[in-house]
């Protein structure tokens, strides 16, 4: 009799727990549903459509002849095209340069603007302004600054060096063209990373800095042992986002260099757009987009694993 009462009371205690778990699971599913729908509509479904198109000879303009499957021929042709490898090398070089330049500038600016400066909010708005300016407008302005041989940059270099430095063909010389795009891109986009770093700095509790001061830590030790560990997730986010943006390099190339001189600024996205819209080979262009997606995904995963391993 006692055992029956005990069993009965146990089932009474478990029933509300199961109902609570079920209700919580439904709440979590409802909260995840919008994200799953958006990811499906704007990421998974477009990727599947691109992969399907990449397996065909789909043209940009419909033709009388039916579209047929060519299976992996587009991928094979891409890997046999020297211009694709040149574009991949160029965008890798651009990414290698832009990450320290853009992220370092954003981090330094965020540390400065996190201090109690007069007109701090105004300064934050001024530094963020290039990030919300149209890239087309930025390219037109910087194209004037880069002008050869009488542009403002060459005038300043000539004045500072007393005429010792000859005018540089910033966009027409293969040795300088990619470097010029890095300068332009780092200046235009670093405001976004700066805002992310500012948000990360504001999320570090002041009590940690107070405790470090009580322990006698100087400014460098507080920065190294409090600020840097507190920004660990921010570093990961900024690095991944900057890498993805770098591999999407297109507007600057299309407006200023068109992939030249001598293909020194050709990028994968510019190569893909030319194949799709100038050569009207949508199947081929879709294959390039699939390859680019896989490359960026692999790099992002490797970065994430390395940062976790080195405890950054």
pLDDT band at 309 (very low <50, low <70, confident <90, very high): low
Residue 25 scores a pLDDT above 60: yes
pLDDT in tens, 178-203: 999 999 999 999 999 999 999 999 99
pLDDT tens digits for 150-170?
889 999 998 888 888 889 999
**Domain count across the chain:** 1
Q: What is the mean pLDDT of residues 286-306?
A: 88
Residue 291 within a domain: yes
Whether 292 is in a domain gets the answer: yes
- For the beta carbon of residue 118, count every other beta carbon within 10 angstroms: 6
pLDDT of residue 28: 86
Residue 10 placed within a domain: no
Which domain CATH number covers 303? 1.10.3720.10
The DSSP string of the chain is -HHHHHHHHHHHHHHHHHHHHHHHHHHHHHHHHHHHHHHIIIIIHHHHHHHHHHTBT-BSS--SSPP-B-TTHHHHHHHT-HHHHHHHHHHHHHHHHHIIIIIHHHHHHHHHHTS--TTHHHHHHHHHGGGGS-HHHHHHHHHHHT-TTTSHHHHHHHHHTTT-SPPP-TTTSHHHHHHHHHHHHHHHHHHHHHHHHHHHHHTS-HHHHHHHHHTT--HHHHIIIIIHHHTHHHHHHHHHHHHHHHHT--HHIIIIITT-STTTT--HHHHHHIIIIIS-BHHHHHHHHHHHHHHHHHHHHHHHHHHHHTT-
Give the pLDDT mean for 247-269: 92
Task: Report residue 2's pLDDT band, with 50, 70 and 90 as the boundaries.
Answer: very low
Do the domain assignments include residue 31?
A: no
R_g of the chain, CA atoms, integer Å: 27
> What are φ and ψ of residue 59, in 5° steps?
-90, 170
Q: Identify the pLDDT of residue 24.
A: 84
- Taking only the tens place, the pLDDT of each residue in 109-122 is 999 999 888 888 89
What pLDDT was estimated at residue 179?
93
Q: Is residue 35 part of a domain?
A: no
Find the angle CA(284)-CA(286)-CA(289) to the nearest 5 degrees: 115
Q: Does the residue 130 lie in any domain?
A: yes
If phi > 0 it is left, if psi is from -120 to 50 it is alpha, else beta; for residue 296 that is alpha
Q: Is residue 160 part of a domain?
A: yes
**Residue 18: what pLDDT?**
64
Give the other-Cβ count within 10 Å of 236's Cβ.
16
Q: What is the pLDDT of residue 299?
A: 87
**Containing structural domain, residue 247:** 86-309
Scanning the structure block, which residue is given the tokens 């063209």?
177
Is 312 a residue whose pLDDT tops 60?
A: no
Are the C-beta atoms of 151 and 144 separated by less than 8 Å? yes
Q: Is residue 285 part of a domain?
A: yes
Q: Which residues pair with 56 in a beta bridge?
A: 69
pTM of the shown model = 0.83
Split at pLDDT 50, 70, 90, the class of 240 is confident
pLDDT of amino acid 121: 87
Mean pLDDT to the nearest integer, 75-85? 94
């Amino acid at each position: 009799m006692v055992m029956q009462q005990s069993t009965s009371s146990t089932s009474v205690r478990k029933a509300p727990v199961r109902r609570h778990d079920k209700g919580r699971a439904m709440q979590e599913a409802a909260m995840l549903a919008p994200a799953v729908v958006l990811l499906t509509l704007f990421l998974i479904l477009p990727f599947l459509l691109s992969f399907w198109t990449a397996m065909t000879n789909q043209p940009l303009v419909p033709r009388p002849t039916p579209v047929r499957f060519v299976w992996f021929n587009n991928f094979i042709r891409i890997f046999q095209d020297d211009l694709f490898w040149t574009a991949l090398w160029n965008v890798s070089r651009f990414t290698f340069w832009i990450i320290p330049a853009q992220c370092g500038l954003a981090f330094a600016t965020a540390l400065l603007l996190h201090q109690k400066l007069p007109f701090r909010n105004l300064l934050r708005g001024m530094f963020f302004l290039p990030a919300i300016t149209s890239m087309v407008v930025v390219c037109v302005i910087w194209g004037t600054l880069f002008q050869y041989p009488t542009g403002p940059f060459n005038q300043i270099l000539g004045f500072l060096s007393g005429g010792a430095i000859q005018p540089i063909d910033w966009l027409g010389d293969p040795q300088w063209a990619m470097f010029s795009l890095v300068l332009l891109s780092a200046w235009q986009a670093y405001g976004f990373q700066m805002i992310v770093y500012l948000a990360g700095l504001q999320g570090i509790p002041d009590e940690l800095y107070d405790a470090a001061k009580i322990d006698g830590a100087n400014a460098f030790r507080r920065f190294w042992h409090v600020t840097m560990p507190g920004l660990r997730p921010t570093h990961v986010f900024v690095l991944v986002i900057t890498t993805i943006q770098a591999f999407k390099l297109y507007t600057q190339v299309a407006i200023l260099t068109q992939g030249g001189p001598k293909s020194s600024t050709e990028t994968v996205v510019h190569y893909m757009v030319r194949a799709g819209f100038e050569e009207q080979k949508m199947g081929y262009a879709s294959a390039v987009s699939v390859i680019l997606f896989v490359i960026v995904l692999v790099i992002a995963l490797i970065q994430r694993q390395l940062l976790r391993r080195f405890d950054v």
